[in-house]
Chain A
Amino acid sequence: MRTLSYAQAIHEAHAQLLDRDPRVFVIGQGLWNPWYAGTTLKDLDKAFGCDRILDSPVSENATTGAAIGAAIAGMRPILFHPRMDFMLLAIDPIVNQAANWSYLFSAQVSVPLVIRSVINRGGEQGAQHSQALHAMLAHIPGLKVVMPSTAYDAKGLLIAAMEDNNPVIYIDDRWLYETTSDVPEDCYAIPIGKGIVRREGRDITIASISYMAEEAMKAGLSLEKQGIDVEVIDLRSAKPLDIDIILKSVKKTGRLVVADGGWKMFGFAAEVAASVSERAFHDLKGPILRVCLPDIPAPTSRALEERYYPRASDIEKTVKKSLNIVSVA
């Protein structure tokens, strides 16, 4: 099979969706720019025309509202927010409008809209340009939130998001753009709300998502060399949350570390931990631990960034902590 990068897989999914359905169009900022969206949208304007790849004025609120209107009118838009932070300018149309529409109008009209946004961690991006806001969005009834960690999933989940008749938030992470995996050439969908066991193990479960799934795999490899057998779950969707896949694993291992690239308090990892403890408290041999961002805004200087973003080594330490606590007790 072919190998594609995460960025190439997103690009191919867009091209195939645009190709197979004339109702599909892309709208957002920087779409005609050769580099602004990484290479994920490169030259799509040339291949599909500027009337289907709409580079917009700097107007997040208007762009999002317009995409919702077009979706209700029968189009299938992919709305692009190159930085998740500025998607906040469109929080009213997303939360008050798109998420509620089907409910408000008795499921007569839905909003088949893919809202894609990018988390731009590190490299001086700082507090206003690198936020991971998936937990906030997953909190909203009516929104689905997917966060692929591999090239294969990046393509399959974008296609699944497009096939869904409700608004789906698709979040990709710039740190994953150069990672590669096998990607089929056909136009395939990955079910939304289904996680995957990336690595089987007996000693401890790591439930992870997005770039932390990649980091969890690295941690798993390193821990294996130290005689610790880790099971890594990549949840792939933040909402709906595939709780069953974690429960099954925890039943086997009895220990859980949740690794998420968002903030710790009131976050995605907190939701996973609560859901597991509600359902599988008696399977647990120790407390559920979280590896998350500290509860402070992202710094800009390298010295601070290095300590701010959790990596494989932090997951490793937390896994050991989880095992030690049990052995001490």
Chain B
Amino acid sequence: MPKRILEEFKVEWFQLLDECGTLDSSLLSPLLSPSESITKKEIQGFYESMVLIRSFDEKALKLQRMGRLGTYASICGQEAIQVGCAAALRSSDWFFPAFRESGLSILRGLPMKTLYQYWSGDERGSVVPEAHNDFPIAIPVGTHIPHAVGAAWAALYKKDKIAVLATFGDGATSKGDFHEGLNFAGVFSLPVVFLCQNNQWAISIPVSRQTAASTIAQKAIAYGFPGIQVDGNDVIAVYLVVKQALERARRGEGPTFIECLTYRLNDHTTADDASRYRSEEEVTLWQEKDPMRRLRRYLEKTYDWSTSHEEALQQEVNARISTAVEEYESVGPDDPLQMFDSLFETLPKDLLEQRAELKRRIEKEQEGARH
């Protein structure tokens, strides 16, 4: 019986900036068009963004520990992905976040105050600024992947020259939504980029228990479009690969799947204790690969980034965060009746009655409290 190889595949891995902060610029040129370059200003901007979103994150964790914030999902260790994506996206592109993208949302223009409100369980924290092309945070795992696919289809249909970015974690790749969404995007050649922040832990389940495949990137092969693995702690690699993929989408050349290999340095959320299921050594190993540390090393070596630069930056960032926290904490509790007011434009009769009953009860209690 004749036998022949029908297809052969390779999965590429990208890193430009290594753990010591050394940039392999020979890899830069194939990723940039002849007219493009990455400027010092851009790279310094990446670093400033990282400091901002890490500080936001640290503050959130502190506020939660003090009882001033609700359950919070830390982004610590995953800043390079979020900064790289934010820089590559245009404001006209659509972004579909999961729940570990606070940094990317901030860099897309979502006020930090609003995000603190969101993570305090305040419904008003889900209200985004007008003309903000981001979908809401998807707490259920992977459910936003098909939504992103639908938005990409709409863009194609309307001939909008935009791209859609959907981000999710490694756990989401075990969902039916992931398979069906990516398959659909491949069949319709949609302008969408799927980006997996593979932080190697879905709460307490390691990525080895999500898939038997050696990379998540290779899953794209079966859907008929490119899959690539990037060092998710290298902001320059993430930026360039995502930028290329988004441009490819805008040109009408179809979807791309990018796996950013990173590590969740903190607990899953503040309601978790990761020390109970993973080793200290593993965490230490990944702390060495910290995305901020390596970029700072690069800046120090290449651009004479100094302690005084660092201090000035940190001071400015702290001031911005303090203002956001003040704004967030000066908002009073919401009116309980508000729970009836977001579901329908006009309340049906039964809900009007339920609303009136609660209103009566509250007024009666307030009257009782006054006497």
A residues lining the B interface (CB < 8 Å): 29-30, 32-36, 55, 57-59, 61-62, 85-86, 89, 124, 126, 128-129, 264-265, 294-297, 299-304, 306-308, 317
Does B157 touch A at the CB level, under 8 Å?
no
Q: Once the chains bind, are B273 and A304 in contact (CB under 8 Å)?
A: no
Residues from chain B with a CB closer than 8 A to the CB of A301 are 120-123, 333-334
Q: Once the chains bind, are A55 and B277 in contact (CB under 8 Å)?
A: no
Q: Once the chains bind, are A294 and B354 in contact (CB under 8 Å)?
A: yes
Contacts A55-B205, A301-B120 given; does A85 touch B358 at CB 8 Å: no
Give Cα A106–Cα B141 distance, bound, in whole angstroms: 38
Interface centre among A299, A308, A317 (most CB of B within 10 A): A299
Q: Once the chains bind, are A59 and B120 in contact (CB under 8 Å)?
A: no
Cβ distance A245 to chain B, nearest Cβ, rounded Å: 29
Q: Once the chains bind, are A294 and B351 in contact (CB under 8 Å)?
A: yes
Does B11 touch A at the CB level, under 8 Å?
no
User: Which listed residue, B70, B140, B203, B339, touches A296 by the CB 8 Å rule?
Assistant: B339
User: Which listed residue, A33, A299, A308, touches B277 by the CB 8 Å rule?
Assistant: A33
Q: Once the chains bind, are A296 and B209 in contact (CB under 8 Å)?
A: no
Does B158 touch A at the CB level, under 8 Å?
no
Residues from chain A with a CB closer than 8 A to the CB of B121 are 124, 126, 300-302
Q: Once the chains bind, are A34 and B276 in contact (CB under 8 Å)?
A: yes
User: Which listed residue, B120, B174, B276, B343, touches A58 by the CB 8 Å rule?
Assistant: B174
Does B221 touch A at the CB level, under 8 Å?
no
Q: Once the chains bind, are A297 and B343 in contact (CB under 8 Å)?
A: yes
Residues from chain A with a CB closer than 8 A to the CB of B358 are 294, 307
Q: Once the chains bind, are B351 and A295 in contact (CB under 8 Å)?
A: yes
Q: Could you jot down 10 A-B contacts, CB within 8 Å?
A: A86-B140, A126-B139, A128-B139, A294-B340, A296-B343, A296-B351, A303-B334, A307-B339, A308-B339, A317-B361
Cβ distance A238 to chain B, nearest Cβ, rounded Å: 22
Give Cα A129–Cα B70 distance, bound, in whole angstroms: 15
Contact mask B329-362 → A, CB, 8 Å, 1/0? 0000111101110010000001100100010011
Extra inter-chain contacts (17) besides given A34-B204, A301-B123, CB under 8 Å: A30-B205, A33-B204, A57-B209, A57-B210, A57-B211, A58-B142, A59-B175, A86-B141, A126-B121, A128-B140, A264-B354, A295-B351, A297-B343, A300-B70, A301-B120, A304-B339, A307-B362
Contacts A296-B343, A299-B123 given; does A307 touch B336 at CB 8 Å: yes
B residues lining the A interface (CB < 8 Å): 70-71, 120-123, 139-142, 171-172, 174-176, 202-205, 209-211, 272-273, 276-277, 333-336, 338-340, 343, 350-351, 354, 358, 361-362
Q: Once the chains bind, are A302 and B140 in contact (CB under 8 Å)?
A: no
Give Cα A299–Cα B337 distance, bound, in whole angstroms: 11
Q: Once the chains bind, are B176 and A59 in contact (CB under 8 Å)?
A: yes
Give Cα A86–Cα B338 distance, bound, in whole angstroms: 26
Give Cα A264–Cα B350 distance, bound, in whole angstroms: 10
What residue in chain A is nearest B138 (Cβ atoms)? A128
Residues from chain B with a CB closer than 8 A to the CB of A36 are 203-204
Residues from chain A with a CB closer than 8 A to the CB of B273 are 35
Q: Once the chains bind, are A61 and B140 in contact (CB under 8 Å)?
A: no
Give Cα A297–Cα B211 distance, bound, in whole angstroms: 34
Cβ distance B364 to chain A, nearest Cβ, rounded Å: 10
Cβ distance B355 to chain A, nearest Cβ, rounded Å: 8
Contacts A301-B123, A304-B334 given; does A57 touch B339 at CB 8 Å: no
Give Cα A16–Cα B154 distance, bound, in whole angstroms: 54
Cβ distance A312 to chain B, nearest Cβ, rounded Å: 15
What residue in chain A is nearest B171 (Cβ atoms)? A58
Contacts A302-B333, A306-B336 given; does A295 touch B350 at CB 8 Å: yes
Give Cα A82–Cα B277 distance, bound, in whole angstroms: 18
Q: Once the chains bind, are B123 and A32 in contact (CB under 8 Å)?
A: no
Cβ distance A89 to chain B, nearest Cβ, rounded Å: 7
Residues from chain B with a CB closer than 8 A to the CB of A86 are 140-141
Give Cα A35–Cα B334 distance, bound, in whole angstroms: 32
